[in-house]
Amino acid sequence: MSEHLLPGLAAEELRRVRAPLESAWTLPPAAYLSEDIHDLETERIFRKTWFPLARLEQLAQPGDFLALDLMGQPLLLVHGVDGQVRAMSNVCLHRAAPIAEGSGHRRLFTCPYHAWAYDTVGQLVAAPLMEGAEGFDPAACRLPQIRTEVWEGFVMVNLDQNAASFAPQVVGLTRYFANFRLSDMAIVRTLTFDSAWNWKVLVENFMEAYHHIATHSQTFEPIYHARDSRVEDTDGPWAILHMPSSDPDAPPREHLVRGLEDWQARDLFAAVVFPHFMFAVNGDGLFWYQVFPEGAGRLTLRIHIGMPRTALDLEGFEEMADGAAAVADHIHQEDIAANDLVWRGLNAPMTGQGRLSPLERAIWQLNQWWLDRLCDQPGA
């Protein structure tokens, strides 16, 4: 059985994607443009893989909560009075109104429609005027619970109750970034962008440094040469792009993350846990790209800037945080221009697949993983 079962994608096109990196091609345009493909991704990828919903420090106290939609499912993330952070369905068990909005601190979540009230673990504790409802037992009513794990300070959720645990899938990646102590980072600024592209356009752009030579010719290329970038070996659903400093003999400059080796303090690193949990780190902190696909050609991106907690009390910290946010914004504006170009081209009727550069190994890795998940015959 071949992989031609993907709607709108020819078997020959998929064979070219499956080729070894040295002779591999990009995904065909339909993989980005087709709503049918997006529906398949939703069913087979987004509703089955782990998603970073928040940072633990956003839910520091019992009663702290955050309400967010994930692939059409309203979710309520709560730090319970029992000390545990958990995600649950944010849909009332009465007549389906979402219960909470935004973020804040509460011991009781009261539905705005008929005032059914839930506690911090999702247990129904009050349902006014229900006395005549035969056999109705509030004690048996609890909001459906969502799989939740904390990894390096990220609160990860998975809509699939049967999903394999997250941490064992990323052991190699966790070890690679151990010195950066991601769990000790705190989010200090967040930038939000709504963009008219497929999510894979964003991930591909994030995971190769080849485009430094043109898109970032005045910003990244002088300090992280495209030609020196390399993709580390992987043994799981993730990729790491290492961008060495163009001046490896320079003494490491002052940096905020303590305990790094010199090369770690000098270089830039980008990572993706498939499909789209992306972050970059350097000697000063973390840039977490949180992606919310909203259709084949739409997404919302939040770029969260994190710094070591130890930096929060430093003199000039606010200026440092503003500076990091300004750099992230500037670089992303350059990437927006590139991704806009790609999106325009992908929508053109004469566009086909393109050849990958050996520098684009992480894109190739994502493509193999994507086909494994999407095709009826994994690995075919």
**Which positions lie near Fe ion, rule CB under 5 A?**
335
Least distance CB 9 / ligand FES (angstroms):
42
Min dist CB 135 to ligand FES, Å, is 18
Rama region for 181: left / alpha / beta (φ>0; ψ in -120 to 50; rest) = left
**41/335 with CB nearer Fe ion:** 335
Cβ atoms of residues 67 and 58 within 8 Å = no
User: Closest CB to Fe ion among 65 and 220?
Assistant: 220
Site string for ligand FES, 360-379 (x = CB under 6 A): --------------------
- DSSP E strands, the chain: 51-55, 64-70, 73-79, 85-89, 103-105, 109-110, 117-118, 124-126, 145-151, 154-158, 185-195, 230-231, 238-243, 268-273, 277-282, 285-293, 299-308
Residue 291 partner contact from ligand FES, Fe ion, none using kind-dependent CB cut-offs of 5 to 8 Å: none
Of these partners, ligand FES, Fe ion, none, which one is at the site of residue 113 (CB under 5 to 8 Å by kind)? ligand FES
Burial class (CB in 10 A: 0-12, 13-18, 19+), 150: middle
| 143 near ligand FES (CB under 6 A) | no
Number of residues that bind ligand FES (CB under 6 A): 8
Residue 94 binds: one of Fe ion, ligand FES, none (C-beta under 5 to 8 A by kind)? ligand FES
- Asked whether position 100 contacts ligand FES by CB under 6 A, the answer is no
The type of residue at 301 is L
Alpha-carbon torsion angle 245, 248, 253, 256, nearest 10: 60
Q: To the nearest 10°, the Cα dihedral for 83, 87, 92, 98?
A: 120
When the beta carbons of 116 and 238 are compared against ligand FES, the nearer one is: 116
The structure tokens listed for 179 are 């010195």
In eight-state DSSP terms, residue 290 is E
Quick one: which of 32, 46, 50, 116 contacts ligand FES (CB under 6 A)? 116
Beta bridge partners of 118: 109, 124
- 136 near ligand FES, judged by CB under 6 A: no
Cis before 275 (ω within 30): yes
The neighbour count for residue 118, using CB atoms within 10 Å, is 27
Asked whether position 114 contacts ligand FES by CB under 6 A, the answer is yes
70 Cβ neighbours under 8 A, 6+ residues apart: 51, 53, 157, 159, 292
CB of 205 to Fe ion, least distance (A): 6
Binding mask 52-91 for ligand FES (x = CB under 6 A): ----------------------------------------
Pick 138 or 244: Cβ nearer ligand FES: 138
- Binds 335: which of Fe ion, ligand FES, none (CB < 5-8 Å by kind): Fe ion
Residues of this chain that interact with ligand FES (CB under 6 A) are 92, 94-95, 97, 111, 113-114, 116
